[in-house]
Amino acid sequence: MGCRDVHAATVLAFLSGTASVAGLLAAVLLPNWRQMRLYTFNKNERNVTVYSGLWIKCARFDGSRDCVIYDPQWYTAVDQLDLRVLQFTLPLSMFTAVSALFLCLIGMCNTAFVSTVPNIKLAKCLVNSAGCHLVAGLLFLLACAICLTPSVWVIFYNNYLNRKYEPIFSFDISVFIAIASAGGLFFTSVLLFLWYCACKSLPSPFWQPLYSHAPSMHSYASQPYSARSRLSAIEIDIPVVTHAS
């Protein structure tokens, strides 16, 4: 596998990273991180379920899809520590993953459209596509850690709330979406790392272009001094024969 080719691994990694970012965006926007179910013993009333998201809160009666109470200012008054942490970590994870996608796209475009023999004057300014993919893989792994840790903490914090108050709390679908998106980010980083390890050996440092100078220069390189010295010595030892008339 050569680093100068666009492979299915890099394309699949880019698609997987895009799907993971879309999943994170859905998890951030959906008001389904935690449910608080309120029961009533009055037969003339219905039970109420309160859905808490990162930015809004919605209360619904059982069997209804309309919000009886809709609080769009919930993000300013979040009183649950895990949701407050997620308000900062999930957007940070999305920003890191988008940066990784941008680097991955630069690497693929550089591989697909840049000539294999670069201009020697611009060689030091070129982008190494393999280096882009390596840094993108590290950023995807970082985004996975930033997203996964607080998302899993929601599950344990939910159990803490049930023990502290009453067993009326339960985590909702956004938790599973965030964890699945974190898994997608991890899968993307693994794909990029595997692709990088399967590449040919790269010059050091890895962010330098694959060609430090034009390949044609190698064919016109002069012979080492030692070889020229030996050749000169042989030529000097050859006797010159002249015929007298």
Domains for the chain: give ranges and CATH numbers.
8-32+79-114+125-200 (1.20.140)
Are the CB atoms for 13 and 135 separated by under 8 Å? no
**pLDDT above 80 for 184:** yes
Q: What pLDDT score was predicted for residue 142?
A: 95
Confidence of residue 98 (pLDDT cuts 50, 70, 90): very high
Give me the residue label for tokens 């890191």: 96
Dist CA 57 CA 186 (whole Å): 31
Q: How many CB atoms neighbour CB 21 within 10 A?
A: 23
pLDDT of res. 124? 47
Task: Tell me which residue has tokens 């009886």.
Answer: 68
Per the model's pLDDT, the better-predicted residue between 84 and 73 turns out to be 84
pLDDT of residue 242: 54
Contact 53, 224 (CB under 8 A): no
Query: Does residue 187 carry a pLDDT above 90?
Result: yes
Query: What is the overall mean pLDDT for the chain?
Result: 76
For the cut 70, the answer to whether the pLDDT of residue 117 exceeds it is: no
Segment 202-212 mean pLDDT? 44
* pLDDT over 90 (residue 206): no
Q: Read off the pTM.
A: 0.72
Contact 195, 133 (CB under 8 A): yes
Query: Is the bond preceding 205 in cis, omega lying within 30 degrees of 0?
Result: yes
Query: What distance separates the 2 farthest-apart alpha carbons in the chain?
Result: 139
Taking alpha carbons only, the member of 191, 189, 192 closest to residue 97 is 189
Asked if the model's pLDDT at residue 200 lies above 70, the reply is no
Is residue 70's pLDDT more than 70?
A: yes
Please give the pLDDT value at position 127: 58
12 closest CA partner among 215, 142, 194: 194
Mean pLDDT value across residues 10-33: 91
Q: How far apart are alpha carbons 33 and 83 in whole angstroms?
A: 8
Closest CA to 73 of 54, 86, 92: 54
Contact between 10 and 18 under an 8 Å Cβ cutoff? The reply is no
149-174 per-position pLDDT tens digit: 999 998 888 888 888 887 888 888 99
**Cα 136 to Cα 154: distance, rounded to the nearest angstrom:** 28
> pLDDT band at 45, cuts 50/70/90?
confident
Strand-pair category, 34-38 with 169-171: antiparallel
Whether residue 232 has pLDDT greater than 60:
no
